[in-house]
Amino acid sequence: MNTNNSNLRSLAQKRKLAIGTGVSMEPLRDDPSYQQVLMREYNIVTPTYIMKFEALQPQRHHYNFEAADNFVAIAKANQMQVRGHNLVWHHSVPWWLTHEQWTPEELIHILRQHIHTVVGHYRGQLAAWDVVNEAVADQDSAGQRKRDTIWLRGIGPEYVELAFRWAHEADPTVPLFYNDYGGEGLGAKSDAIYAMVKELRQRDVPIHGIGFQMHVSIQNPPKPEDIAANMKRLGELGLQVQVTEMDVKIHDGSGTPEERVAAQTQVYRDILQVCLEAPNCTAFLTWEFADHHSWIPDFFGKPDSPLPFDESYHPKAAYHAMVEVLKIDS
């Protein structure tokens, strides 16, 4: 049974680690069981949608902060930090922006105004901002590792640097993160991310951390030693690392259901242990916490159970493994 002093939140606090989850507004508003587990287990939260460009500026010059303000207020009332997510992405871009032709100057003005307005609105209230999300392509295309987006096409590769500078202008105190998937271990994509952020640091761009989304699978998870090495080299650049969106697919793995659960449990155990051992790993978040709120089954069209709690909010083996890891030397 989970006691008040042996849940994730209390144990992580002793280890000086922020532990949290992505959160959707609907269950936060309507589901008492969701609310109870969230408040008990976590001390940092990320809104899964309501702070994205499309949600905050659905019409040009018309900002709607109501849902996001409510989210921040609920988190504050329950002593939870908030990660802002996100300012610049190729998804969740409003219709008015994608269905017009813009000059580079116009796009620069639109993006700068959006970042200044949003970051300024939450100045002094957030623990971090994911400034740029998923700007590095999965595959090298003609020597180009930047993802093809409206921002790359319309402004050029300098949009990444500009976004960080504008966010820092709007709130000089909030840590600013680059967030991406598939670059957690060692390999071509993590090398491309490392090269990009190293150059940004050399140019004195105000970037303070890297978000490892950690959407992984039991089929071929990144090796713990590779994640540790990647965290170390990023730390040598003066950067924090946060695990920002972790979940562990099991539908594409092999073995019996029990073997898949055991493999999933080991992945959660390994990644949390790596984070705890890295001096620059400051937060560990899953992307939602109960299986029925996961994006994975709908996206892949396969049943899955990738999170630490089941559909009845009962803690699973992965949850208990994370508790065990947090208890070591605590």
Continuous H helices in the chain: 8-14, 25-30, 32-41, 53-56, 66-77, 95-98, 104-121, 150-154, 159-170, 188-202, 224-236, 257-277, 296-300, 317-327
DSSP code of 6?
S
DSSP code of 181?
S
Catalytic member of 245, 259, 277, 288 = 245
Residue 101: CB atoms within 10 A of its CB come to: 6
Cα torsion 299, 303, 309, 313 to 10°: value is 100
DSSP code of 223?
P
What's the CA gap between 30 and 297, in Å, rounded? 22
259 assigned to active site: no
134 assigned to active site: yes
Q: Which residue has the tokens 């001096």?
A: 279
- Residue in 253, 227, 242, 270 with CA at minimum distance from that of residue 305: 253
If DSSP states are collapsed to H, E and C, what string results for 269-315? HHHHHHHHHCCCEEEEEECCCEHHHCCHHHHHCCCCCCCCECCCCCE
Catalytic member of 41, 134, 184, 288 = 134
Are the CB atoms for 134 and 106 separated by under 8 Å? no
Residues belonging to the active site: 134, 245
